[in-house]
Structure 1
Amino acid sequence: MLTDSESLRPKETTLFEKVIAACPELTALADLVRGLAALLKPAGGNDTKLAEWITIARAVDRPHLGSFTNGLEIDRAAVNAGLTLPYHNGRTEGVNTRTKRIMRQIHGRAGFDLLRHRILLP
């Protein structure tokens, strides 16, 4: 559902259409997922589009969508910033993930000195 329909192979497109046709509720869900996926590329005006998307998602009346939209509303300022601003913390998160991986690898073998050495001298 998250893949752009133009990038699907013909066999995948046919299968997806069959699955969607079998369940009308899934059709509405697929439209909602594609609408949200379109908002994930940061651009101006995505905050107002998100408000419209939340209204539509709540009208579908699916329990999991309701809890998801409530979660979006709880931290709306951060969600709006993520959808509209070109800045991100991907590099920082990558460093954190790498550090945690190294810590798991050397768990119980040595102390902080080895961790420091493994991080600073790749």
Structure 2
Amino acid sequence: MHALLDQGVGLLECARRLGWALNTVKRYARAAAAEELQRPPRYRETLVDPFRDHLRRRLAENPSVAVTRLLSEVREQGYTGSANLFVRYLNQGRAQAERTPPSPRRLVAWLMTPPDNLPAHHRSHLDDLLAACPHLTILARRVREFASLLTGRRGQDLDAWMAAVDADDLPALHGFVHGLRMDLPAVAAGLTLPYSNGPIEGANTKVKLLKRQMYGRAGFALLRQRILLA
């Protein structure tokens, strides 16, 4: 891939010659070495994950500690899984492996979720990330403050929140605030009043569903009758 790029061949031509998808060609072009394309294995969450820090600390102190001893320790701390799951977790090296950074989408999901609703290991991972990045710490604070405005219907505090965001070094959030100011009265009303356009949107969705169901099958009269009955 890089040999073709060194010859001045474009990405589209590389994709044509190699028979690869363009996105694959772009990903290979961005990588300076093949090792950068290697990704750690992705495992599903298990019942052992909440005790990962304890296992890592114990294995660092005594690498030859017996598995049965570790199992009894985590059971005392509340582990309810099977012994087979625990042994497989250790054999895969997941206790010693460093935490892999979450994807941007997963990190956004963690930030948008109330901390009390996050599993303990996710909350711990998020706290470590926030402590390592001051900008991310401020972003998480602003997101939670806005969520409090939204759920508590505190539209009167919106101006103070936007002023605080303007003082932060968060250009992306500045764009969000700029969009709010373009229709500020409607935003303030939505954060204050109990009314919602949800029923209207639901009726629109139902009409569109009926229209799709009857496309090519019947005329307007029957469609009108179904809408009225619905």
Shared fold by TM > 0.5?
Answer: yes
Please give the TM-score of this superposition, normalised by the length of structure 1.
0.81
* Residue matched to 1:2: 112
Change (3 A) 1:120 1:27: same
* Deviation of the 1:21 alpha carbon: 2.7
SS at structure 2 position matched to 1:51: helix
Is residue 2:138 matched to residue 1:31?
no
- Structure 2 distance, partners of 1:22, 1:104, is 51
- Structure 2 distance, partners of 1:16, 1:113, is 57
Deviations 1:50-74 (A, max 9, x none): 1111011111232221121111111
SS at structure 2 position matched to 1:40: helix
- Structure 2 distance, partners of 1:2, 1:54, is 18
* Deviation of the 1:42 alpha carbon: 4.9
- Structure 1 distance, partners of 2:149, 2:183, is 17
With CA pairs under 8 Å and 6+ residues apart, which has the higher RCO, 1 or 2?
A: 1
55, 61, 72: which one pairs with 2:163? 55
Change (3 A) 1:42 1:108: farther
* Deviation of the 1:39 alpha carbon: 0.7
6, 9, 13: which one pairs with 2:123? 13
| Runs ≥4 residues deviating over 6 A | none
Counterpart AA for 1:60: D
* Residue matched to 1:95: 203
The 8 Å contact of residues 42 and 82 in structure 1, kept in 2 or not, is answered as: no
* Deviation of the 1:108 alpha carbon: 4.2
185, 188, 195: which one pairs with 1:80? 188
Please give the TM-score of this superposition, normalised by the length of structure 2.
0.47
The 8 Å contact of residues 42 and 85 in structure 1, kept in 2 or not, is answered as: no
* Residue matched to 2:228: 120
* Unpaired runs of at least 5, structure 2: 1-110
Deviations 1:62-108 (A, max 9, x none): 22211211111111111111111111121111111222233334444
85-94 or 12-21: which moved more?
Answer: 12-21
**Percent identity between the two aligned chains:** 46
The alignment yields a C-alpha RMSD, in angstroms, of 2.0
SS at structure 1 position matched to 2:112: coil
- Structure 1 distance, partners of 2:158, 2:179, is 13
Query: What is the number of equivalent residue pairs in this alignment?
Result: 120
